[in-house]
Structure 1
Amino acid sequence: MSDRYPVLDSVDALLVGATGRTPLDAPGKSGAVLDRVTIDGASYVVKYLDHEGDWSLRAAGVPGSSTVALWRRGILAALPDEIVQPIVAVAHDRERPTLAAVLMDDVAETLVPAVDDPITIEQNDRFLDHMAAVHVAFWDTDLDIDVVTPTDRYLELSPRMAAAEAALGSDHLVPRLVAQGWPLLETVAPKAAAIVVPLVHDPAPLVNALAATPSTLIHGNWKLDNLGTDSEGRTVLLDWETPGRGAATADLAWYLAINCRRLPVSKEQAIATYRAALERRGIDTAPWWDTQIGLSLLGALVQFGWEKAFSGYDDELVWWEQRAIEGAALLA
C-alpha cells in the first residue's frame, strides 16, 4: 500500500463519522449502489464497488476495482488540471475482498442532466478538448497505467460476458440485452455483423493492429452520465470502469457511439475537434491518425453493435457499418 495514496482496509473505516445515509438512484446500469452521506457538515457520495452485485466489475476482472488500482498507483492524482475527479478516499474491504468503495465529493449539481436533449456545442467541444488533455498527460507516462487490458475492454459487452452472467443466474438488464443484441445484428445488418461478430469473440486482430499505434491512459467510459462541468469550466469525470493502456481514439469512438443521440454536431466534426485538441497540445497526429481512428471506430461497433441493432438499420447503424468496412481493411 502506498503511504501517499492509502487504501483503507474496510468500508466502515471509509465512513467513520458519516450520518444521514440516503440511497441514490443512479443512471448507470451496472448494479452499483450509491448513498449520499454527510461528514463534518459536508455532503459526499459513497459508491459501493461490489463484485457480487456489479456485472461490470466482474467483466473488468480487477481485484477490488479499477478505481482502487488507479487510486493506489497515483494515477487519479496525476490527472491534468482540466479534469475534476471527486474521489477523496478509497477502501478495499479486508474481510470481504469482493467489496470496495469510494467516497466522493457530492458533485451532483455539476453533472450533465440525464435527459434526451443534445448537449450544447460549447460543452461538447469542452469535453473533447479535456479528453485530449487526459490523453496527452499520459502520452509518455512512467506511471503504471496497465489496468484493464484492451482485450478485456473489447470483451466487456460481448457474448462471453453475457454467457458468464447467465451462468451466474444474473438478472441485470445489460447482459441480457447484449445476449439478444448480437444475434439481432446478424439479421439487421449482416454486412456489419460479418466484420464485427468474429472480433467480438476474438478481438486479437483489432487489439494487435491498434498496438502498432501510440497508446496512453484511456478512461473507457466517456458517456454523458459520467460527465459534468464545474463552476471553473473543468470537466467532472466519474466512474473509471475500464481504464488502462489503449489507443486514445478508442475513448473518442466510445464517446461518439454511446452519446450519439445527444451530440450537437456530426461525428465527423467531433472527430476533427478532438484531433485539433491533440495537435494544440503538441501531439503530431499525422503519422498514425488515419490508422488509429479507423481501427477505433471499428472497435466501437465491436463494443456496441448489439446496442445499435435494436434501432434497426437506421442512419446511425449505416454510419457505423461503413466505418467497420473501412476499419476492417486496416486489419490486414
Structure 2
Amino acid sequence: MVEAGSIAELLASATDVTTIDSAGKSGARLERVSIGGEPHVVKYLDPSTDWTMRAAGVDGSATLELWRRGILARLPASINQPIVGIAHEDGVTALLMRDVGDWLVPVAGDVVPLDQHLRFLDHMADMHATFWQTSDDIDVVSNRTRYLELSPHTAEREAALGSTHHVPPLIGQGWPLLAEVAPTAAAIVSPLAIDPTPLVDALSGTPETLVHGNWKLDNLGSDPDLNTILLDWELPGRGPALSDLAWYLSINCRRLPQSKEDAIDAYREALERHGIGTEPWWSRQLRLCLLGALVQFGWEKAFAGYDDELAWWERHAVEAAELL
C-alpha cells in the first residue's frame, strides 16, 4: 500500500469530479470521482477545517499513520475498509476510497436490523482479537486523548479559534446541563472529562488491542459479502477493547435492536468465539469502559433530560467509581 507523492498524483486518473454535500459533523470535504470507470470518493482531512483532527492531535491524520504503519492492511477479512490510496501534502491528507455509499447504514433513525447489529459486534470482536495484546506499533491516539475529545477543553479551544462547527458549542452547553439534570452522574464524570487520568490509570492493567474509536452507525455498513464496512478512523490506537463496545452502545443507543445487556453478552460471546478468554479481566474493564462512555457522552445525554437512558449510564458510573 504505497503512499502517493502528491494529491495530484493520487488523483491523476480521476474523472467526473463532483462535490458531495456531506452530512458529516467534522468539517471534512468530500468529492465523488471516477477511477477506471469505477466510482470512488475522495475525503480531504484538513486540521484547519476539521475539529476532530484538532482533537486527535496527530500530525497528518490518524488515518495516515495507520496507512504508513501497514495497520489497515492487517485488518481481518470481516472488516471492509475502503481506502485504496492516500496522499499527504501541505498539511492535508487525501483519502481515495471505493464508493461504498449504497451499502452504508441509512442515516434515518430507524432501529438497525438485529442480524446486522450482531454482525457488527462479531466483526468488532474479530478486529480486537486480531490485534489482542499486540506488540505492533498501534499507538496512534492515546486513551487519554480519546477521553478528552468531547471534553470542555474541546469546546473552549474551538470557541477560542472562532470555530463555526455545530458540535463543539453543544459540548460546552451540555456539560453544565449534566450537572443540573443528573448531579450524581456529573459529580463522577465531569471531573474525569477535565482530567481522565484516574480512569486511564485504572484501565492500564487490563488487556489492550487496536480500537477504532468511533463505532457509530454513520460509519458502518455491510457489503454484499456481509463484511462490515468501517469508515472514519479518527481516534484509533491501543486501548481497551470494551471502550469500542461502550462507545457503540452509547452513541447508537436509540437505534439498537436489543438491550445493552444483551449486546454486551453478544460481544463477549463473539470475543470468546474468536479465541480470546474473558476471565479474569472482563468485569473490571467493562465497568470502567461504561464509565468512560459517560465521560465521553455525558454532555450529550443531558439534552434529553433525566430519562431511562441517562439513568442507565449513571447507575453504571456509580458502580465503577469505586475502581478509580
Using structure 1 for the length normalisation, give the TM-score: 0.96
C-alpha distance in structure 2 between counterparts of 1:177 and 1:7, whole Å = 37
Identity %: 63
Please name the residue that 1:112 is paired with.
105
- What is the deviation of 1:33? 0.9
Please name the residue that 2:53 is paired with.
57
The 5-angstrom pairing of residues 189-208 of structure 1 reads: 189-208=182-201
- What is the deviation of 1:19? 1.4
C-alpha distance in structure 2 between counterparts of 1:113 and 1:49, whole Å = 23
CA contact (8 A) 1:47 1:101 kept: yes
**Residue 88 in 1 paired to residue 84 in 2?**
yes
Determine which of 212, 229, 240 is the counterpart of 1:219: 212
C-alpha distance in structure 2 between counterparts of 1:260 and 1:81, whole Å = 27
- What is the deviation of 1:74? 0.4
Deviates more, 1:246-255 or 1:282-291: 282-291
State the Cα deviation string for residues 115-137 of structure 1 (Å, max 9, x = none). Answer: 11101110110000000000000
C-alpha distance in structure 2 between counterparts of 1:153 and 1:109, whole Å = 30
Which structure 2 residue ranges, 5 or more long, are not aligned? none
- What is the deviation of 1:305? 0.3
Please name the residue that 2:120 is paired with.
127
Give, as a single letter, the amino acid of the residue that structure 2 aligns with 1:8. Answer: A
- What is the deviation of 1:140? 3.1
- What is the deviation of 1:281? 1.4
Please name the residue that 1:255 is paired with.
248
SS in 1 for 2:238: strand
The 5-angstrom pairing of residues 238-317 of structure 1 reads: 238-317=231-310
Determine which of 207, 210, 216 is the counterpart of 2:203: 210
C-alpha distance in structure 1 between counterparts of 2:170 and 2:268, whole Å = 33
C-alpha distance in structure 2 between counterparts of 1:178 and 1:23, whole Å = 29
Which structure 1 residue ranges, 5 or more long, are not aligned? none
C-alpha distance in structure 2 between counterparts of 1:286 and 1:141, whole Å = 18
Give, as a single letter, the amino acid of the residue that structure 2 aligns with 1:248. Answer: A
Please name the residue that 1:70 is paired with.
66
C-alpha distance in structure 2 between counterparts of 1:56 and 1:208, whole Å = 24
Aligned CA distance change for structure 1 residues 244 and 265 (closer, same or farther; 3 Å): same
C-alpha distance in structure 1 between counterparts of 2:323 and 2:234, whole Å = 28
Please name the residue that 1:152 is paired with.
145
**Residue 172 in 1 paired to residue 165 in 2?**
yes
Please name the residue that 2:27 is paired with.
31
C-alpha distance in structure 2 between counterparts of 1:142 and 1:12, whole Å = 35
State the Cα deviation string for residues 33-72 of structure 1 (Å, max 9, x = none). Answer: 1110011211100000000000000000101100000000
- What is the deviation of 1:113? 0.4
C-alpha distance in structure 2 between counterparts of 1:90 and 1:327, whole Å = 41
CA contact (8 A) 1:27 1:225 kept: no
SS in 2 for 1:191: helix
Give, as a single letter, the amino acid of the residue that structure 2 aligns with 1:230. Answer: D
- What is the deviation of 1:27? 3.1
SS in 1 for 2:3: coil
CA contact (8 A) 1:7 1:68 kept: no
C-alpha distance in structure 1 between counterparts of 2:281 and 2:311, whole Å = 26
CA contact (8 A) 1:73 1:143 kept: no
C-alpha distance in structure 2 between counterparts of 1:141 and 1:110, whole Å = 31
Using structure 2 for the length normalisation, give the TM-score: 0.99
